[in-house]
Amino acid sequence: MIPVINDYRKDKDQHFRRKEEVKKDERDVTDKIIIITGCNHGIGHQTALELAKRGARVVMACRDLTKAEAAKEYILKEVPNGKLEVVKLDLGEFNGAREFSNLIHAKFDHVDVLINNAGMYKFDGKIRRTNDGFEEHMGVNHLNPFLLTLLLLDLLAKSERSRIVCVASTFSLLQEFNVNDLNMENFKKFGVYAPYANSKMANILFMRELARRLGENSNINCYAICPGMVNIERVEDQSFLRRFLFIFAKYWGFLDLENVSDYGLKFWKI
C-alpha cells in the first residue's frame, strides 16, 4: 500500500507541473456524443459537468434515475445550456447492459466517446455475486462494462474518431492478478483488496487487448486510466472533520474532486 501511495504522490507533483500542458491539449468536444457510466456522483459526475461546460452532448448512464436527475439538475445550475440526457443503466446484470445498448441504438446513429466510469469497491472481505453469478466487483466493474463496450462498438466505429476510456485503478497493482480464480472461489487466499484489484486489472487488460484487436488504423482509441486517489464528496457536502482531515490527505497525494477534471483523467494513464 505505502509504495502505491508514494507513487501517487510523485505522479501528482508531476501532473500539477504539467497543468499548462493539459490546458493547451484540451480538445473541442462541442456536440460530441459522450456516454459516461455512473455519473450521478463522484468522478463521473465531475467529468459530466466538465464535458457539459465544453459543449458535449452528455449521456448520463446511471442505475438510479432519481439520483441521476438530481445530478443533472446540479450540472444545469452550473451550465444552464448543458446538453444532458439521463438513460438507465444497471451494470449489476448483463440484461442491464443489453437494455441500455438498445436504448442508445434507438436514439443515436453514432457515439463519439464511451467512458466506463461506474464502479464499486467494498473492502469488507465479503464475497457477493451478481444475478448472473459473478463476483460482484468483477461483474459490475469489468464484465458488464466489457459487454456494454462490445455492444456499442458499431456506434463508436461510425464516429470519425472515437475513444473508449475505462476508469481503472493503480490499486490493481496491489494484488497479483489471478487468472485461475477470477470469480473468487478461493477468495480467502488473496486478501480483501483482491476482488476490486482483479476487476480493475481486467479493465486494463481489456483496453490493451481491444486496442490490439482493433489495430493501429482503427478510428477507435482505447484508454485505461487511473484518476488518482480522489476525495469523491463535493466540498459543500463534506463534514467539517472530513474537510480538516483532507488538508493532511492532500499531502499524501489525494485530489479534490474539482481537480480531477483538470488534471486527473488526463494523466493517470496506465
Quick check: is 196 catalytic? yes
| Using rule CB under 6 A, residue 138 touches ligand NAP | no
C-alpha cell at 137: 466487483
Contact (CB, 8 A) for 214 and 163:
no
d(CA 168, CA 172): 8
Residues present in the chain in total: 270
Q: What angle do CA 267, 153, 198 make, to 5 degrees?
A: 55
Query: Distance (Å, rounded) from C-alpha 93 to C-alpha 116?
Result: 15
Q: Which one of the spans 33-41, 78-86, 204-212, 215-223 is the region binding ligand NAP (CB under 6 A)?
A: 33-41
Comparing CB distances to ligand NAP, the nearer of 87 and 157 is 87
Query: Pairing between strand 57-62 and 33-37?
Result: parallel
198 touching ligand NAP, by CB under 6 A: no
Q: Which is nearer to ligand NAP, 40 or 159 (CB)?
A: 40
Contact region for ligand NAP (CB under 6 A) — 39-47, 99-107, 149-157, 242-250?
39-47
39 vs 159, beta carbon nearer ligand NAP: 39
159 or 267, CB closer to ligand NAP?
Answer: 267
Q: How many residues bind ligand NAP (CB under 6 A)?
A: 27
* Largest Cα–Cα separation, the chain: 52
Smallest separation, CB 215 to ligand NAP (Å)? 27
Amino acid at the residue 216: E
C-alpha cell recorded at residue 190: 488473496
Summarize as ranges the residues that interact with ligand NAP (CB under 6 A).
38, 40-44, 62-64, 67, 89-92, 117-121, 140, 167, 169, 226-227, 229-230, 232
